[in-house]
């Protein structure tokens, strides 16, 4: 007999057991409403996901139409119009050299699949010794074991270390913190990019499979863009040593930085490029790897079978949502709005916080902007992590009805407290002004409570 028990507040194992979050009951444009009718301006798209806001009619209609035909058919048996059309749409708008799209259900799955595809590529071309992956410190590529292994976010890795595969980490391109006094941008970019060559030579040039990097770093550092020339040198090194370049555009991609792909602004392309988040705008969970011709050819002309798969890959309703998302972005010329509102957001943040005693850096591209908070602007010393400044800002902003994405501080391997803004591409000038106003109120709340 089952024992009578008192009903807990929730049966959900939430990410945090400290407090049950409010329930999101409705979405309208850039706002989410909870069960008490309180509204939240989504200034971070959740985690840089909701690029069309929360009630886009075209995406909803496309999903309804797909469900009325067929919601899902296993990709081991069937393709679908939605999957084929989405792949064509992605490949025809992809960086040079991309030939195919491989679908998954999210960012971590995309990283896993990219790592395995890189490994299989080298088996197909008769280079079985290539197995090592190099990534960068202060990076995040997902939470599954392979993705966690390559990520350089030590706090997330620490307790799972015994389960992780070996990966090496070089310096990120993090100008605000690491550029030396008097060092030009070009010299700085070359210096940190050349760490890749050193790492490849240390591991053995013939044993390295891939280098993984985000073109514009999101969650771990708050919208850190590379200096000009950095990725050109990275590409050169990868080509010289036959190492694959895996670009993680899960967060910075699909229009977030003002171009469809963030890497377009660097004038190079990857061999594999992961996308997710904004791909389906949060209406459905979907990710993909954009696969270059050389890798597609090697697998097609070799074993003919990528040894990997997930039950929901190429899910028809997810593909229909993503296709409608991408078409909507083009039809409404939303990338132009990303550029315009992104500049306004950057100007607003700079005007309001440019001289703020605890704001060290304001940075980013398009509607992907970061604010780095510091205890001392001169020395750039971060706040003591025990103060949990970033978590307090998240809480204060949420209380004021603003969703912002703070990170860092409490996390070793991540330097400083950052707040990331990644609002939907549909934001207006008034929305941007409101974001800046609410953020100011939130940080004032925190600094006042901290006695600063």
Residues that bind ligand PLP (CB under 6 A): 47, 106-108, 111, 140-142, 214, 218-219, 248, 250-251, 276
* Choice between 353 and 421, CB closer to ligand PLP: 421
Q: How many CA atoms lie within 13 A of 249 on its CB side?
A: 29
48: left (phi over 0), alpha (psi -120 to 50) or beta: left
Q: What's the min distance (Å) between Cβ of 105 and ligand PLP?
A: 8
Distance CA 271, CA 378 (A): 41
Q: What's the min distance (Å) between Cβ of 141 and ligand PLP?
A: 5
Sheet holding 402-403, edge to edge: 24-28, 31-34, 39-42, 402-403
Q: Are 117 and 306 in contact (CB under 8 A)?
A: yes
* Choice between 111 and 390, CB closer to ligand PLP: 111
Q: What's the min distance (Å) between Cβ of 7 and ligand PLP?
A: 31
* Choice between 82 and 276, CB closer to ligand PLP: 276
* Choice between 107 and 406, CB closer to ligand PLP: 107
Is the dihedral angle over the CA atoms 196, 202, 203, 208 positive or is it negative?
positive
Q: What is the DSSP letter of 217?
A: B
Q: What's the min distance (Å) between Cβ of 309 and ligand PLP?
A: 17
* Choice between 197 and 214, CB closer to ligand PLP: 214
Q: What's the min distance (Å) between Cβ of 41 and ligand PLP?
A: 21
* Choice between 344 and 414, CB closer to ligand PLP: 414
* Choice between 317 and 348, CB closer to ligand PLP: 317
The tokens describing 10, both together, are 């929730």
Distance CA 194, CA 171 (A): 10
Q: What's the min distance (Å) between Cβ of 87 and ligand PLP?
A: 19
The tokens describing 15, both together, are 């990410």
Backbone phi, psi, residue 173, to 5°: -95, 90
Backbone phi, psi, residue 385, to 5°: -55, -30
Residue nearest to ligand PLP (CB): 107
Distance CA 415, CA 412 (A): 7
Q: What's the min distance (Å) between Cβ of 410 and ligand PLP?
A: 17
């Amino acid at each position: 007999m089952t024992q009578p028990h008192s009903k807990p507040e929730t049966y959900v194992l939430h990410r945090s057991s400290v407090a049950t979050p409010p329930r999101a009951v409705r979405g309208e444009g850039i706002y989410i409403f909870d069960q008490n009718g309180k509204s939240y301006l989504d200034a971070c798209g959740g985690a840089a996901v909701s690029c069309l806001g929360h009630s886009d009619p075209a995406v909803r209609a496309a999903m309804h139409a797909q469900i009325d035909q067929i919601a899902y058919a296993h990709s081991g048996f069937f393709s679908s119009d939605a999957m084929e059309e989405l792949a064509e749409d992605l490949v025809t708008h992809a960086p040079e050299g991309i030939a195919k799209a491989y679908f998954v259900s999210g960012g971590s799955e995309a990283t896993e699949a990219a790592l395995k595809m890189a490994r299989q590529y080298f088996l197909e071309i008769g280079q079985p010794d290539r197995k090592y992956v190099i990534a960068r410190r202060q990076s995040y590529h997902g939470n599954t074991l392979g993705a966690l292994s390559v990520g350089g976010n030590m706090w997330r890795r620490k307790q799972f270390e015994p389960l992780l595969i070996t990966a090496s980490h070089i310096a990120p391109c993090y100008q605000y913190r690491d550029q030396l006094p008097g060092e030009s941008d070009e010299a700085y970019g070359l210096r940190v990019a050349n760490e890749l060559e050193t790492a490849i030579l240390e591991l053995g040039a013939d044993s390295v499979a891939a280098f993984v990097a985000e073109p514009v770093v999101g969650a771990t550092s708050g919208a850190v863009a590379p200096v000009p020339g950095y990725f050109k040198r990275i590409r050169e090194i990868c080509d010289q040593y036959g190492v694959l370049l895996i670009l993680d555009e899960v967060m910075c991609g699909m229009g977030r930085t003002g171009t469809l792909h963030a890497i377009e602004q660097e004038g190079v392309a990857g061999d594999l490029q992961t996308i997710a988040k904004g791909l389906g705008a949060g209406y459905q969970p979907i990710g993909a790897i954009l696969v270059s011709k050389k890798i597609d050819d090697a697998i097609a002309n070799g074993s003919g079978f990528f040894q990997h798969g997930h039950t929901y890959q190429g899910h028809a309703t997810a593909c229909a949502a993503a296709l409608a998302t991408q078409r909507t972005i083009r039809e409404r010329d939303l990338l132009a709005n990303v550029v315009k509102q992104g500049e306004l957001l950057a100007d607003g943040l700079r005007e309001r916080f440019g001289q703020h005693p605890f704001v060290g850096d304001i940075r980013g591209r398009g509607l992907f902007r970061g604010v780095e908070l510091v205890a001392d602007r001169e020395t750039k010393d971060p706040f003591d992590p025990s103060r949990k400044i970033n978590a307090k800002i998240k809480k204060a902003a949420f209380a004021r009805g603003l969703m912002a994405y703070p990170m860092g501080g409490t996390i070793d391997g991540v330097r400083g407290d950052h707040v990331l803004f990644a609002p939907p591409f549909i934001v207006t000038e008034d929305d941007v002004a409101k974001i800046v106003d609410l953020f100011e109120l939130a940080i004032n709340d925190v600094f006042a409570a901290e006695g600063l």
